[in-house]
Structure 1
Amino acid sequence: MQYSAKAVAGRGEAKSFKRRLWLEGWKRLRKQRTAMIGLAVVLFFILIGLLAPLLTSHPFDGFNPEKTLIPPNADHWFGTDDQGRDIFSRILYGARISLWIGFFSVIGSIIVGCLLGLVAGFYGKWADSIISRFFDVMLAFPSILLAIAIVAILGPSLFNALIAIAIINIPTYGRLIRSRVLSVKEEEYIMSAKAIGMSNSRILFLHILPNSITPIIVQGTLGIATAILEAAALGFLGLGAQPGEPEWGKMLADSRQFLTVAPWTLLFPGFAIMVTVIGFNMFGDGLRDALDPKMK
C-alpha cells in the first residue's frame, strides 16, 4: 500500500506540474501582441462562420440576373458576382467551408501521422524502416501535385479535397512525433515504466504521447493555415468545391475573368483567404514561442 500511495502521489505531482506548464505557457502567450491578434482573427472567422445565417440578409446561393456585377453598396456590402449572388453572404458561408476543411484535415493528419510516428519511433527496426520509407516516398512529391492526383482518383468534391489534404500532410506529423518519441523513450521514467512491467500501449499513450504532443499542437495550428491554402488551390482548379458552393478558392476561379470590370469579385475572397492564413500563422508562431521550454 505504501508503494501504491507513492505512485498515486507521483502521478498527482506530474499532473500538477503539467498543469503549471500549460498555465505558464498561456501567460507567456497573452504577453505576445501578435499572437493575440492572430487569435482574435481566428476567433472572428469562426464566429462569423457560425453566425452566418444571422449576419446575412441575402442567401448565398440566390441567383438574380438583374443584379449581376453590382459594385459594393448599402444593400450588398461586398457587391454581387456575375450571377447576382451576394458576395458578403458567400464570404461568410465560405468561412464555414474553409475552417471545416482546415480543422478536420489537420485532425485526420495528426491522428494517422501520430499513430505511425509512435510505432516507428518506439519499436524501431523493420517497423521504423517501412514507415520512414513511406514518409520519404510521400515527401518526394510536391504536396499540391499529390493532392491533385488523389482528388483526380477519388473525384472532385469538397470531402475528397479534405481527404487529399489530410493524406498529404500525414508525413509532416509522423516525422515530427517520431523524432520526439526517439528522444522521450530514453528518459528514465520510461525505463522505470518498462521495469515495473507496464505494457507498451500504456507507455505510448500515457507517457510518451502526452510528453510529445506540444510540437504537434503548434504544427497543427500552422497546418490549418496551409490546409486552407491547399483547399483554395484545389477549389481554384475545380477539384474541390463544385459550382454553387461558396468556397473562397472557387469564388476566385469563377471571378478571374472579371478582374478588370468587377475587381471586387476577386478582392474580397482573396482578402478573406489572406487574413485567415495570416491569423493562423501569427497565432501558431506565438504558440510555439509560448510552449517552448527554452523561452521560460
Structure 2
Amino acid sequence: MHPFSRKENPVKFKKKSLWLESWKRLKKQRAAMIGLSIVLFFVLLGFLSPIITNQPYDGFNPEKTLISPNSEHWFGTDDQGRDIFTRIIFGARISLWIGFFSVIGSIAVGAFLGLLAGYYGKWVDTIISRFFDIMLAFPSILLAIAIVSILGPSLFNALIAIAIINIPTYGRLIRSRVLSVKEEEYIMAAKITGMSDGRLIFGHILPNSITPIIVQGTLGVATAILEAAALGFLGLGAQPGEPEWGKMLADSRQFITTAPWTLLFPGFAIMLVVLGFNMFGDGLRDALDPKTK
C-alpha cells in the first residue's frame, strides 16, 4: 500500500474539566493536602465516635475526677469524672455541624441578596448594600452575643447567630462578582434573546460566580468553629453536659494549674481543626485561581 494512501486518524482533542484541572493543581500543594487530611480526620472522628469509644460523654463519676492521662483515659478526665478523649471526639460532631451548616445558611442568604444587588442595581443595590454595611458596623462576636441573648442560649440558636453575622461577607463577595460577570458578552447576548431574569441569574451568572464563594466558605467554616467555641465559652452556645469544645474550655478554666490537660486537649482540637480548614482553604483558592495555570 502506498504510504500516502493510508487513512490517518484525526487528532482528537479532549475537553478538560475546570474542576479536574483544579483538583490536579490542588494535589500538588502539600499544605493544602495536609489541611484536607486534618479535616477528613476530624470528620471521621465525628462519624465513628460511637465505635471508637464505648465510654459515655456525659454523666458523673466522682471516683475518677481529674485523673491525668493514662492508658485507660488517654486524655485524662475532667472535674466530673468524664473521659476527655470521648468528649472531644463527640464534640467534633458538634463543631463541624455548626461550622458546615452555619456557612451553608450564610451562603444561601448572602448569595441570594448579593445576586439581587449586583444584577438589578439601583435602589435594590442601595438597600441591600446599606443593610450589609449596618451589619458590618458591629463587631461580629458582639452581634452574635446579642442575637443569642434574644433567641436564648442553645447550640441551634448559636448556629443561627453565626449564620446571620456572616451573611454580609458572602453577600458582598458575590455582589462584586455579579457586577463583573453581568457585563460579559454572553450575558448581554442572552438578554437580547429575551431570556428571563431568573434563568439568567441562576443558570448563567450564579454558576460563573460560585468559585470565590467556595473558597470563602471553606475558610468560613474555620471562623464559624471559632465563633461557636467563643459562644460556648461564654455559656451562650452549648449547655451543661454537651461536649462542645468551647464549653469544655469554659468548664475547665479553673483547673488551668491543677489539671492543665482539661484545657490543653480541647484547645488543641480547636486549633488543629481550624488550622486544617485554613490550610485547605488557602490551597483551594490558589487551585481555583486561573492566574495560577
What CA deviation, in whole Å up to 9, does each residue of 1:194-225 have, x standing for no partner? 01110000000010000000000000000000
- Write the mapping of 1:74-113 to structure 2, written as runs, cut at 5 A: 74-113=71-110
Structure 2 partner of 1:72? 69
For 1:28, give the aligned amino acid. R
Q: Secondary structure at the match of 2:149?
A: helix
Q: For residues 286 and 275 of structure 2, what CA distance do their matches in structure 1 show? A: 17
Q: 1:188 to 1:18 in 2, by over 3 A?
A: farther
Q: Return the match for 2:31 from 34, 37, 50.
A: 34
Q: Return the match for 2:250 from 248, 253, 256.
A: 253
Q: For residues 74 and 192 of structure 2, what CA distance do their matches in structure 1 show? A: 67
Q: For residues 118 and 223 of structure 1, what CA distance do their matches in structure 2 show? A: 20
Question: Aligned pair count?
Answer: 281
- Note the C-alpha offset of 1:57: 2.5
For 1:23, give the aligned amino acid. L
- Note the C-alpha offset of 1:42: 0.3
Aligned identity (percent) is: 83
- Note the C-alpha offset of 1:295: 0.6
Q: 1:131 to 1:68 in 2, by over 3 A?
A: same
Q: Unaligned regions of 5+ residues in structure 2, if any? A: 1-12
Q: Secondary structure at the match of 2:69?
A: coil
- Note the C-alpha offset of 1:234: 0.1
Residue 200 of structure 1 pairs with residue 175 of structure 2: no
Structure 2 partner of 1:12? none
Q: Unaligned regions of 5+ residues in structure 1, if any? A: 1-15
- Note the C-alpha offset of 1:63: 1.4
What CA deviation, in whole Å up to 9, does each residue of 1:33-85 have, x standing for no partner? 00000000000000000000000131101310110000001111100000000
For 2:171, give the aligned amino acid. G
- Write the mapping of 1:150-161 to structure 2, written as runs, cut at 5 A: 150-161=147-158
Q: Secondary structure at the match of 1:51?
A: helix
1:62·1:86 contact (CA, 8 Å) conserved in 2?
A: no
What CA deviation, in whole Å up to 9, does each residue of 1:101-152 have, x standing for no partner? 0000000000000000000000000000000000000000000000000000
User: Structure 2-normalised TM-score?
Assistant: 0.95
- Note the C-alpha offset of 1:20: 1.3
- Write the mapping of 1:160-179 to structure 2, written as runs, cut at 5 A: 160-179=157-176
Q: For residues 15 and 198 of structure 2, what CA distance do their matches in structure 1 show? A: 21
- Note the C-alpha offset of 1:21: 1.1
Q: Secondary structure at the match of 2:17?
A: helix
- Note the C-alpha offset of 1:18: 9.2
Comparing 251-260 and 61-70, the one that deviates more: 61-70
- Note the C-alpha offset of 1:19: 6.2
Structure 2 partner of 1:56? 53
Higher relative helix content = 1
Q: For residues 291 and 25 of structure 1, what CA distance do their matches in structure 2 show? A: 6
Q: Secondary structure at the match of 1:70?
A: coil
For 1:32, give the aligned amino acid. Q
Q: For residues 20 and 159 of structure 1, what CA distance do their matches in structure 2 show? A: 39
User: Structure 1-normalised TM-score?
Assistant: 0.94
Structure 1 partner of 2:276? 279
Q: Return the match for 1:236 from 233, 238, 257.
A: 233
Q: 1:175 to 1:99 in 2, by over 3 A?
A: same
Residue 119 of structure 1 pairs with residue 137 of structure 2: no
Moved over 6 A (4+): 16-19
Q: Secondary structure at the match of 2:168?
A: helix
For 2:193, give the aligned amino acid. I
Structure 2 partner of 1:10? none
Q: 1:121 to 1:19 in 2, by over 3 A?
A: farther
Structure 1 partner of 2:215? 218
